Amino acid sequence: MAVDPLIELRDVNKYYGKLHVLRDIDLTVGRGEVVVVIGPSGSGKSTLCRTTNRLESIESGTITLSGTPLPAEGRALAQLRAEVGMVFQSFNFFAHKTVLANVSLAQIKVRKRKKEQADRRSRELLERVGLAAPRRQVPGPALRRSAAARRHRQGAGDGPPR
């Protein structure tokens, strides 16, 4: 089956001093495809994600988005970053806001959506990952464990529903 490539990395290399973190990485992520990057601590997972958003530069190779090289800087790069969401291992919510408010925040601040529109989209996203019920709760360890348990029950290879 042919893949409609959204993100392509070809011969990507990244160093931190003498440490060769990403070595000749070739990766194609198709449009609509769900990809999970798994590996031990220090294996370059976060660096791989940061390079695809140009939060980190690469020493060699190419990264393209829909066939176009990633912008180096300026408005085009800011626009790209506004379209890409990343959740890091140690993510932080605003403890005084509900889950729904936390998920809606970037849409309101970055995309300039009205609160009602952002909340509607956030409810859709929370439903997609099995967190529709706790959206009015304030985030905490129990909610994070609940989300992890739901993902585990869905199965490692199933990914979120489309």
Q: What domains lie within the chain, and their CATH numbers?
A: 1-91 (3.40.50.300), 92-139 (no CATH)
Q: What is the pTM of this model?
A: 0.58
**How many Cβ atoms are within 10 Å of 43's Cβ, its own excluded?**
13
Quick one: how far is CA 102 from the chain centroid? 16
- pLDDT tens-digit profile of 134-154? 655 655 555 554 555 445 444
Query: For a pLDDT cut of 90, what percent of the chain falls above it?
Result: 28
Q: What is the DSSP string of 10-37?
A: EEEEEEETTEEEEEEEEEEEETT-----
- pLDDT tens-digit profile of 60-102? 999 998 888 988 788 888 887 777 766 655 566 777 888 888 8
Flag whether pLDDT at 27 surpasses 70.
yes
Terminal Cα distance for the chain, rounded: 19
